[in-house]
Amino acid sequence: MSAASPTIEPHLTTGAIVAKTPRPFVLARRTIITPILLALLMIAIALLTMMTGSRPFNQVIIDVFLRVILVVGLYVFIGNSGVLSFGHIGFTCLGAYVAAWLTINPMMKKMAFTGLPSWLIKTQMPYWEAAIIAAIFAGLAALIFGRILMRLSGIAASIATFAMLAMINTIYSNWETVTGGTSSVVGIPIIRSIWPYLIAAIISIFIAWAHAISRSGLALRAARDEPTAAAASGVDIPRERLVAFVISGAIMGLGGALMAHSIGVVTPDTFYLGLTFITIAMLVVGGMGSLSGAVIGVVFLSALIQTLRWLEAGVSIGDVAFAIPKGLQEIALGIIMIIILALRPAGVFGNREISLTRNRGD
């Protein structure tokens, strides 16, 4: 990643923490305002949705929260390590299928997944337990893949994560007896209330923040900006990357499980290139190195997509009803993304975070 942005500050803090160990939690106290503000933003969106009380809008906001979870999960790895990963949606896929295996009615499971072990067919648990297990499962998968992949860096690592995504997709599309192949898995209980999604989004924001200011997170950010100097100062880069990879994998798995519950149907192709690119685009537009950028990128692009959809469906202003032609929504989205990136190549936020006091750098 380019180290063009002014990032003198983090080295100083990293050095200070490692060398002198100042008063505990000083960094936490200084930065906690960011996740709090972001969580408040999420809560405000949720309350606004409550007040309108419209069903379709409810679903839209659930999608926003899900994307927040996914993009924050991406940020934990991509933002802190600077390695672009195309594979994280694979963990979302793993999480979604775990949720399906654990929550579908055993009667239906017996017919749909003949290859599952019988103890798994018999279990049926509430969605939130299933979601936690899904997150742990995805984290474990990330640990296994990460042990191999984190030895790579730069574009080779990106391609390797991409190969991982394609592998997961191929396996889940073809292992008919366990995953139902390419056909949709139905019967997952649908959760329509927005609160579980809100809570999960806020939890992932706080996990991401806690990781970013932890010793491991700071070391990783140092390695992102100055790999040689960080390695020379004793940062074990593959290890710190692995930590971030596992945490972000778990968050992606959680997002996948909840996504399964929001639509009630999963197919392997839901979790493939389309979702990968839209989530990465949200992260990059918001600002890759910033948690605020991740969250606000989602809110901003989601709002844009939704507005364009409404325009496509037709809006009447006064007596005149007008609608933009079908397909123009995606074209407009692409053009707007290009314009934003041309104007602000580092994303809207770059490396900065929102907070009440003005701060420079991270």
Partner 1 sequence: MLQILFDALSLGSLYALGALGIALIFGVMRLVNFAHGDVIAFCVFALLWPSTDAMAIVFAGQLPWYLLIPFVLLCGAGLSVLCEIVVFRRFRKANPATMMIASFALGFVIRYFLLMLFSSRPKSINLLPELSQPVEIFGARLPLLQLITIVATMLILLGLTVFLRRTRFGLEMRAAAENFSMARMLGVRANRVIMGAFALSGALAGAIALIFVAQTGTADIQMGAAIMLMAFIATVIGGLGSLAGAVLAGFLLGAASVIMQVMLPIDARPFRDAFVYGAVILVLLFRPQGLISARGTKERV
Interface residues toward partner 1, by CB under 8 A: 1-2, 4, 84, 148-149, 151-156, 159-160, 162-164, 166-167, 170-171, 174-175, 228, 273, 277, 280-281, 284-285, 288, 325-328, 330-331, 333-335, 337-338, 341-342, 345-347
DSSP string, 69-101: HHHHHHIIIIIHH----S-HHHHHHHHHHHHHH
| 43, 97, 194, 308 from 53: Cα distances, Å | 15, 31, 11, 21
Cβ atoms 164, 87 nearer than 8 A: yes
* Cβ 189 to partner 1 shortest distance, Å: 30
3-state DSSP assignment of residue 303: helix
* Cβ 148 to partner 1 shortest distance, Å: 7
Residue 22 or 314 with smaller CB distance to partner 1: 314
Residue 10 or 347 with smaller CB distance to partner 1: 347
Cβ atoms 188, 100 nearer than 8 A: yes
Extract the tokens encoding 228. Answer: 């040689």
Q: Which residues lie closer than 8 Å to 45 by C-beta, 6 or more apart?
A: 61, 64, 299
Residue 47 or 335 with smaller CB distance to partner 1: 335
Residue 16 or 163 with smaller CB distance to partner 1: 163
Sign of CA dihedral 203, 206, 210, 211: positive
Residues β-bridged to residue 320: 317
3-state DSSP assignment of residue 214: coil
Residue 18 or 328 with smaller CB distance to partner 1: 328
Q: How many CB atoms lie within 10 A of CB 148?
A: 10
* Cβ 175 to partner 1 shortest distance, Å: 8
* Cβ 345 to partner 1 shortest distance, Å: 4
Q: How many CB atoms lie within 10 A of CB 154?
A: 12
Cα separation, 320 vs 331, in Å, equals 24
* Cβ 346 to partner 1 shortest distance, Å: 7
Residue 25 or 277 with smaller CB distance to partner 1: 277
Residue 129 or 176 with smaller CB distance to partner 1: 176
Cα separation, 15 vs 214, in Å, equals 13
Residue 247 or 278 with smaller CB distance to partner 1: 278
Cβ atoms 188, 95 nearer than 8 A: no
Cβ atoms 354, 34 nearer than 8 A: yes
Residue 199 or 269 with smaller CB distance to partner 1: 269
* Cβ 197 to partner 1 shortest distance, Å: 26
Extract the tokens encoding 213. Answer: 């200011």
Burial of 30 (0-12, 13-18, 19+ CB in 10 A): middle
Cβ atoms 64, 298 nearer than 8 A: yes
* Cβ 273 to partner 1 shortest distance, Å: 7
Residue 320 or 342 with smaller CB distance to partner 1: 342
* Cβ 291 to partner 1 shortest distance, Å: 17
* Cβ 351 to partner 1 shortest distance, Å: 12
Cα separation, 67 vs 59, in Å, equals 12
Cα separation, 166 vs 169, in Å, equals 5
* Cβ 8 to partner 1 shortest distance, Å: 18
